[in-house]
Structure 1
Amino acid sequence: MADIFVSYSRHDRDRVAPLVKALEAQGWSVWWDPDISPGEEFDSLISRELEAARTLIVVWTPHSVESRWVRGEARDAADRGVLVTVRFEHAKLPIDFRALHATDLDDWNEDPRHVAFLSLCKALEAKLGAAKPPAVAMPKSTQVSICVLPFANMSGDPEQDYFSDGITEDITTDLGKVSALSVVSRNLAFSFKGANGGVADIGRKTHATHVLTGSVRKAGERVRITAQLIDAAKDAQVWGERYDRELNDIFALQDEISKAIVSALKLTLLPEEKEALAQRSTSNAEAYKLYLMARQFWLRDNERNNEIVIRICRHVVELDPNYAQAWATMGLAKWNLFWQVDQQQEDLEYPAMRALELGPHLADAHAAQAAVKRSAGDFKGALIAAKRAVELEPTSYVANRLAGLSCMGLRVYDQAIGYFETAAALMESDFTAASFIVQCHEVMNDKEATQLAAAKAMKRIEKIVSEDPGHGRAIGFGVSILVTLGQKERAMEWATRARLIDPDNANLQYNLACAMSLLGEHDEALNILQGVADRSSLGMLSWIETDSDLDGIRSYPRYAGMIERARLRLAPKAAQLA
């Protein structure tokens, strides 16, 4: 975690570099990442550093005042009360920042004794809440930290990526149980998958003292894992080993690797940490292998994958009925289909209930409970369960996403934004939470934040659709985002494309109805929504009645009629849940 995050325009890099150097000479740690290209989307790395920094300096120049990215970072910092501003060339500040004092640095000439620089240091002291460190270079945190890079799949079959990725994630989870070790998040580590940069460079970008690399080769019932622990500062190997085992030994092998890394780092495990490392969700190697496959499909967040995840997890729990994580994942996949009219509430409830019985301290089990309550329209109960999941695992993507959705259901949009921003930062491929951020800002009438969030969400959606042109869910969300961005013609083109690609997808049709409502095409929105309401589930109906995107058509008698008919149709199911 850096003391200071510096927000600036790429054009001003040469001007910012001496300022960063001077601040570091004062003993503060500074994040400014000069390798980021202009207009690059906030990826997980930037978001992590931005949120973790104790204060943020915005460098206002004629270039940066025109940058929506710099203005967005400044607004975020101002909202959190950690903003400090400096100015060059008497730049005219954005109107919403003119009331804040900006230190003019035109004449400081890179002199740390200049009155302007000293004034900046005093402002930083006030924000950081402590006296300035001595004016000498201070050592960075002595805590050992590690970045576990995705293990390479050496099986010769790209379809086996799920296994090597799963092994990587489980080793990351194991190391996260060691209190003396700081572990880089899974999402940030996986952003370097296939990267050409050296280990030292990755260590610098992630602030990790050590980097773990490795490979996995699975052939039949044999598995070979190689692992190397690298000191990032020295770019030297600290430890390395190759393991050839039977697949049935995979759990003992993971335990052995984790303990070897801890030993190589000269860390001491507490008794409870030794016990935690030895605990596994299952002892059935076949169930574990299949669960890793299901998890890979789940992480892709495509509606078509939910049935696959459910099917695999059903087989997994047949192999091991006590596999709590598999039950939880099944429940979450079922929740993703909550809009289906034939989805029975008990079908949603049982996997979540079973997961919670078997794993009361499992974040995904509580997330699955939140999903059940959210799908029944119990947004208060859903938020309680989702918050518990977040407490157990703050870096859980699905827990934060569900907490955000629950807040939206309660129309507590400012809180929803916080959860959605965390979710979007945790999952680089996420577009759902990123899109809901747009909607929340829109409801709160923050036009600039809405446009900034919409541009970021659309960039993610476009990437997904380019890789999977038939991704109906992404296309459906994209239509609404394009409307927000003012690209109405393109939105209509995407809407036509969506209808042709997946005409029977009720969730996609619902998103199109929302987009038409936002466009002011109320008759068309009602036409589409009619088909959705006529076959909606109880959970889908609760969302239709809550979603702010449909506020523009709620006053129409036709809307009231379709909702009343849906309520009457679903009354028996509602009575069963009462």
Structure 2
Amino acid sequence: MTFRMGVNLGDVIAQDDTIYGDGVNIAARLEKLAEPGGVCVASNVYEQVKGKLDYAYTDLGSHQVHNIVESVRAYRVSRAKPASVISTRDTLTLPEKPSIAVLPFDNMSGDPEQGYFADGMVEEIITALSRTRWLFVIARNSSFTYKGRAVDIKQVGRELGVRYVLEGSVRKAASRVRITGQLIDATTGAHLWADRFDGGLEDVFDLQEEVTRSVVGAIAPKLEQAEIERAKRKPTEHLDAYDYYLRGIASLHQLTRESTANALQLFYKAIELDPEFASAYGMAAFCAVMRKANGWMADREQETAETERLALKAVDLGRDDAVALSLGGEALAFVVGDYNSGAAFIDRALALNPNLATAWLFSGWVRADLGDTEGALQRLATAIRMSPVDPIMFDMLNAVAMAHL
């Protein structure tokens, strides 16, 4: 039998063989949020244990509890080192080209609700760095397994097989943003560069660009200007649309039925504000991938038609956007059943950005479905190397198994 557990810190009332009270009600609500065999803790527990135990914590956002006035913030607890296909006896060799992992930035805003914004900044910096072709960039999913943990940079370098690690913080207050960062040589522990970037909220894309440019410049001072320019593309000019987009991504990463439905609505709001926002269409289409994979679709015919519309819009608007192309291609293949078109769009994404680990995974799945065993295994091996401690490693292994059938 598999159990769930919710943990809260608070007063309880004991009478006979029963306990009750707000503390119990909150724990019961947290238990329902946990996955089978999993544990969810309240924010007051998280504040007591973060950095002290060898576990990773995923912010699930705030949730309303029956008969409790204030919402309760929940965190999913997971093993600090997710299972990997790479044996602990093996050491990941450093790639021939410079390699880097960007760890989750600390949210210094004083408001846990702004965690999505700090995470979004990191995801955008990872994406911008990944467009630099001569860099090897570890995928977001593996980098974020270190969120909420006190880490040893040298150990991170060994576990991910990278030479450089970027860490930092984000502070968002009213209409101002401050991003700090420091680049560390994981092989020696030496600090190569550190800086602070301040600006208005309307300057957020310029701040991301400055961080990316500084990191790239610290790794290779003689970088060609063309490679820097490649990393400067803005996903949207509309800041409110961008905010909804970041919130949607944060919700989607919670991997529940409710959070996926919420993410879809947030992406729709982003699209409403900016009808040319290619990546938002792609993310909205990918919500259907999640819904179909988990058996959450209510009206398959209607949702498939809407997914096709969203996916085609993503690949049309995002002809030079690897994220939009890969998400749209995966949705066309897996949900709509147009595998050939899906494979072509994902290949286009990889031509634009060979560091996009999710695109390698999508390509592996599609190639397996098309019967291309060798091509699928090559692509999946690349995805695994780019995200060696990915929490969804099971999906990569499922794809490997499918490729062999």
- TM class by shorter chain equals 0.5 to 0.7
Query: For 1:80-119, what aligned pairs fall within 5 Å after superposition?
Result: none
Identify which range, 231-240 or 157-166, moves more after superposition: 231-240
Question: Comparing both structures, which one devotes a greater share of its residues to strand?
Answer: 2
Please state how far the C-alpha of 1:418 moved relative to its aligned partner. 5.6
Select the residue among 289, 298, 303 that pairs with 1:340. 298
Q: Deviations over 1:81-128 (max 9, x none)?
A: xxxxxxxxxxxxxxxxxxxxxxxxxxxxxxxxxxxxxxxxxxxxxxxx
1:375 is the counterpart of 2:335: yes
Select the residue among 221, 228, 252 that pairs with 1:298. 252
Equivalent-residue separation in structure 2 for 1:416 and 1:405 (angstroms): 7
Runs (4+) of structure 1 exceeding 6 A deviation are 47-52
Q: Percent identity over the alignment?
A: 31
Identify which range, 172-181 or 253-262, moves more after superposition: 172-181
Select the residue among 121, 129, 138 that pairs with 1:175. 129
Alignment match, 1:361: 320
Equivalent-residue separation in structure 1 for 2:400 and 2:190 (angstroms): 45
Select the residue among 43, 60, 69 that pairs with 2:84. 43
Q: For 1:191, what is the secondary structure of its paired residue?
A: helix
Please state how far the C-alpha of 1:177 moved relative to its aligned partner. 3.1
Query: For 1:241-260, what aligned pairs fall within 5 Å after superposition?
Result: 241-260=195-214
Alignment match, 1:317: 271
Give the residue type in structure 1 aligned to 2:298: Q
1:187 is the counterpart of 2:109: no
Alignment match, 1:118: none
Q: Which has the larger radius of gyration?
A: 1
| Residues 141 and 391, structure 2, Cα contact 8 Å, conserved in 1 | no
Give the residue type in structure 1 aligned to 2:395: A
Select the residue among 436, 445, 452 that pairs with 2:398. 436
Select the residue among 336, 347, 351 that pairs with 2:310. 351
| Residues 349 and 369, structure 1, Cα contact 8 Å, conserved in 2 | no
CA 1:226–1:372 in 2, change beyond 3 Å: closer, same or farther? same
Please state how far the C-alpha of 1:347 moved relative to its aligned partner. 1.3
Equivalent-residue separation in structure 1 for 2:383 and 2:184 (angstroms): 30
| Residues 421 and 437, structure 1, Cα contact 8 Å, conserved in 2 | no
Q: Deviations over 1:42-93 (max 9, x none)?
A: 437x38997976xxxxxxxxxxxxxxxxxxxxxxxxxxxxxxxxxxxxxxxx
Please state how far the C-alpha of 1:416 moved relative to its aligned partner. 5.1
Alignment match, 1:548: none
Query: For 1:412-427, what aligned pairs fall within 5 Å after superposition?
Result: 426=387
Equivalent-residue separation in structure 1 for 2:305 and 2:155 (angstroms): 51
Instruction: Give the structure-2-normalised TM-score.
Output: 0.66
Q: For 2:166, what is the secondary structure of its paired residue?
A: strand
Question: Comparing both structures, which one devotes a greater share of its residues to helix?
Answer: 1
Equivalent-residue separation in structure 1 for 2:281 and 2:140 (angstroms): 22
Alignment match, 1:221: 175
| Residues 420 and 436, structure 1, Cα contact 8 Å, conserved in 2 | no
Equivalent-residue separation in structure 1 for 2:96 and 2:361 (angstroms): 34
Equivalent-residue separation in structure 1 for 2:273 and 2:102 (angstroms): 30
Give the residue type in structure 2 aligned to 1:430: I
CA 1:48–1:417 in 2, change beyond 3 Å: closer, same or farther? farther
Please state how far the C-alpha of 1:271 moved relative to its aligned partner. 3.0
Query: For 1:125-274, what aligned pairs fall within 5 Å after superposition?
Result: 144-274=98-228
CA 1:252–1:204 in 2, change beyond 3 Å: closer, same or farther? same
Equivalent-residue separation in structure 1 for 2:309 and 2:126 (angstroms): 30
CA 1:216–1:406 in 2, change beyond 3 Å: closer, same or farther? same
Give the residue type in structure 2 aligned to 1:286: D
CA 1:407–1:303 in 2, change beyond 3 Å: closer, same or farther? farther
1:327 is the counterpart of 2:281: yes
| Residues 215 and 225, structure 1, Cα contact 8 Å, conserved in 2 | yes
Instruction: Give the structure-1-normalised TM-score.
Output: 0.48
Give the residue type in structure 1 aligned to 2:207: L
Equivalent-residue separation in structure 2 for 1:438 and 1:235 (angstroms): 36
| Residues 421 and 433, structure 1, Cα contact 8 Å, conserved in 2 | no
Equivalent-residue separation in structure 2 for 1:198 and 1:170 (angstroms): 24
| Residues 424 and 433, structure 1, Cα contact 8 Å, conserved in 2 | no
Equivalent-residue separation in structure 2 for 1:434 and 1:150 (angstroms): 23
| Residues 169 and 181, structure 2, Cα contact 8 Å, conserved in 1 | yes
Please state how far the C-alpha of 1:326 moved relative to its aligned partner. 0.8
Cα RMSD (Å): 3.6
CA 1:206–1:412 in 2, change beyond 3 Å: closer, same or farther? closer
Give the residue type in structure 1 aligned to 2:113: E
Please state how far the C-alpha of 1:202 moved relative to its aligned partner. 3.0
Query: For 1:452-467, what aligned pairs fall within 5 Å after superposition?
Result: none
| Residues 222 and 244, structure 1, Cα contact 8 Å, conserved in 2 | yes
Give the residue type in structure 1 aligned to 2:109: S
Give the residue type in structure 1 aligned to 2:241: A
Give the residue type in structure 2 aligned to 1:440: M
Identify which range, 213-222 or 245-254, moves more after superposition: 213-222
Give the residue type in structure 2 aligned to 1:354: K
Q: For 1:278, what is the secondary structure of its paired residue?
A: coil
Please state how far the C-alpha of 1:298 moved relative to its aligned partner. 2.3
Equivalent-residue separation in structure 2 for 1:49 and 1:190 (angstroms): 23
CA 1:393–1:261 in 2, change beyond 3 Å: closer, same or farther? closer
Equivalent-residue separation in structure 2 for 1:154 and 1:403 (angstroms): 37
Consecutive unaligned residues in structure 2, runs of 5 or more? 1-80
Equivalent-residue separation in structure 1 for 2:148 and 2:97 (angstroms): 28
Q: For 2:235, what is the secondary structure of its paired residue?
A: coil
Equivalent-residue separation in structure 1 for 2:279 and 2:347 (angstroms): 18
Give the residue type in structure 2 aligned to 1:348: T
CA 1:271–1:419 in 2, change beyond 3 Å: closer, same or farther? closer
Q: Deviations over 1:155-201 (max 9, x none)?
A: 23333222112211222222233345443343333333333333334
Equivalent-residue separation in structure 2 for 1:432 and 1:141 (angstroms): 24
CA 1:51–1:406 in 2, change beyond 3 Å: closer, same or farther? farther
Q: For 1:238, what is the secondary structure of its paired residue?
A: strand
Please state how far the C-alpha of 1:215 moved relative to its aligned partner. 0.7
Equivalent-residue separation in structure 2 for 1:249 and 1:49 (angstroms): 46
Select the residue among 274, 278, 290 that pairs with 2:232. 278
Q: 1 or 2 for the larger relative contact order (CA 8 Å, sep ≥6)?
A: 2
Consecutive unaligned residues in structure 1, runs of 5 or more? 1-39, 54-139, 445-578
Please state how far the C-alpha of 1:41 moved relative to its aligned partner. 6.3
| Residues 245 and 266, structure 2, Cα contact 8 Å, conserved in 1 | yes
Equivalent-residue separation in structure 1 for 2:107 and 2:148 (angstroms): 11
Equivalent-residue separation in structure 1 for 2:163 and 2:356 (angstroms): 24
| Residues 142 and 391, structure 2, Cα contact 8 Å, conserved in 1 | no
CA 1:301–1:418 in 2, change beyond 3 Å: closer, same or farther? farther
Alignment match, 2:20: none
